[in-house]
Amino acid sequence: MNLVIGLTGGIGSGKTAATNYFEQLGITVVDADLVSRLVVEPGMEALKEIASHFGEDILDADGALNRTALRKIVFDKPEERKWLESLLHPLIAQEIHRQLEASQSPYTILVSPILFESGQNLYCQKSLVIDAPENLQVSRTSVRDSTDEAGVKAIMKVQLSREDRCAKADDVILNDGDLESLHIKIDSIHAKYLKLAEKNV
């Protein structure tokens, strides 16, 4: 497998803005969030198991997983949560590995909002945090999702603190300017990763 860089950051820090640009530079991005949705899409074995365990009510009218209903069920039932995690975690890990293996770019980015919390950083040789001051996390997310400040802050509270996340990272990009300045910072780290990738093979 080629060099894998884990990319993470708090809500509204700019993970998507960053990975969009890495893709423009020709780098394959594997998205752990997308993978966790993929494994429970209609037709997938895991969705059938979930429906037979929790009942058909867990599905929408169109047969898709009602994630909100599932989240409510497992919220205060550690046994059910455990059952669900033991079903999904190996499938998610397997699919992430499959996508990482399939990557043809000089190095590959694995983006995950819970890179460190989930242990997905263990699939990566290096980690990169996209960090932003809290006021920018709030204002950017509010504009994007039309959520209010309290909603964004509630999510920030359950995520790793900026300090803890940055302390775990090999590299940190402070996304406190415009998009152009983010791209310039990424250009320089991209050059560094390309050099590292050359040594890796």
Q: Which positions touch ligand ATP (CB under 6 A)?
A: 9, 11-17, 113, 140-141, 144, 175, 177-179, 182
Count other C-beta atoms under 10 Å from residue 61's C-beta. Answer: 6
Q: Which helix (H) or strand (E) holds 73?
A: helix 67-75
Nearer to ligand ATP, 16 or 118 (CB): 16
Least gap, CB of 137 to ligand ATP (angstroms): 8
Report whether 128 contacts 110 (CB < 8 A): no
Least gap, CB of 5 to ligand ATP (angstroms): 16
- What is the rounded CA–CA span in Å between residue 100 and residue 118? 17
Nearer to ligand ATP, 57 or 180 (CB): 180
Nearer to ligand ATP, 86 or 146 (CB): 146
Least gap, CB of 192 to ligand ATP (angstroms): 20
- CA angle, residues 178, 109, 34, in degrees to nearest 5: 90
Nearer to ligand ATP, 152 or 197 (CB): 152
Q: Give the pairing of strands 3-8 and 126-131.
A: parallel
In the numeric block, which tokens belong to residue 34?
A: 């997308």
Least gap, CB of 118 to ligand ATP (angstroms): 14
Report whether 99 contacts 43 (CB < 8 A): no
Nearer to ligand ATP, 19 or 99 (CB): 19
- What is the rounded CA–CA span in Å between residue 15 and residue 71? 24
Least gap, CB of 182 to ligand ATP (angstroms): 4
